[in-house]
Amino acid sequence: PTIYVITPTYARPNQLSELNRLRAVLLHVPRLWWVLVEDREERSAVISNFLASSGLQYTHLAQPTPQEWKQQDNSPRWRRPRGVLQRNAGIAWLRHNCPPYTAAVAYFADDDNSYAIELFDQMRWTQKVSVWPVGLVGGVMLERPVCLCLGDGHPSIVTDWMVGWKASRKFPTDMAGFAVSVALLITKTDAEFSHDSKIGYLETDFLSKLVETKDLEPRANCCTKVLVWHMNAKKPLLKEEMKLRELGRRTDVGIVV
């Protein structure tokens, strides 16, 4: 099966540094197709050029977030869900471009996380939805499904979740903690992400449209191995750059950073 990695991304000073970090991992994964969705009206030349020389198979899309859904600078950063319409654009693209019974899997990979190469082996053979732990997220060292894996001939099942925050959610996992069969996404035509989801409910609301807990497929050694870490890059400090710009001497004239 092919792995379709759907990544929302938006312009900021460290965008290319993050995208190159992700690219370096994806280049190690066979049969992978990157669906990179820019949060803007039109596809940018910078990202077109980046993808053209990436060495990856890819689709380049653009889907803007309406201004009223954008994070306001002075509001707490978790107030608005991010990457929602971009992931939905990726899903719509899969529905248009993959045959109904395609053997493929979709993974929603934010552009700023850290991914182990081995993570992708874990998700490739997903029947419906596969799940695994995510490191450094939700205010704890890791969040994870608690699973019962009896071995050969017995199905492995998720019996509980170990999380610090909002444990009452039906599927209390981060976006990085699951992959979905593309055939299932094509069948369940109403499955998409919603800006109406309550804060922290984006993932659980989406997964509720696709499966029941009994359908979840534990991966990563019965959900005891961490192969992906949720990250938030420190905003680059550009104090000196701003001073130079006021003097008409910006450092990146004609150079893409």
Q: Active-site positions?
A: 203
Strands 104-108 and 178-181: antiparallel
205 binds ligand UGA (CB under 6 A): no
Shortest distance, position 39 Cβ to ligand UGA, whole Å: 4
Establish whether 112 is an annotated binding residue: yes
Q: For residues 70 and 166, which CB has a smaller minimum distance to ligand UGA in the complex?
A: 70
Q: How far is residue 161's CA from residue 43's CA, in Å, rounded to a whole number? A: 39
Strands across the sheet containing 134-137: 114-115, 228-229, 134-137, 140-148, 157-162
Chain residues 15-44 in contact with ligand UGA, contact rule CB under 6 A? 39
Does residue 163 contact residue 140 with C-beta atoms inside 8 Å?
Answer: yes
Contact segment (CB under 6 A) with ligand UGA among 8-16, 19-27, 47-55, 205-213 equals 8-16
Q: Is 172 an interacting residue with respect to ligand UGA (CB under 6 A)?
A: no
**How far, in Å, CA of 232 to CA of 229, rounded?**
10
Does position 97 bind ligand UGA by CB under 6 A?
no
Which residue number, 71 or 102, has a Cβ lying nearer to ligand UGA?
71
Instruction: Verify binding: residue 126, ligand UGA, rule CB under 6 A.
Output: no
CB of 83 to ligand UGA, least distance (A): 3
SS3 52: helix
Nearer to ligand UGA by Cβ, of 130 and 183: the residue is 130
**Sign of the C-alpha dihedral computed for residues 116, 108, 10 and 186 taken in this order:** positive
CB of 112 vs ligand UGA, minimal distance in Å: 5
Give the containing element (helix H, strand E) for 123.
Answer: helix 119-123
For 234-247, give the DSSP string.
Answer: PPPP-HHHHHHHHT
Chain residues binding ligand UGA by CB under 6 A are: 7-10, 39, 65, 70, 78, 81-83, 86, 110-112, 174-175, 202, 230, 232
Q: Which residue positions form the known binding site for Mn(2+)? A: 112
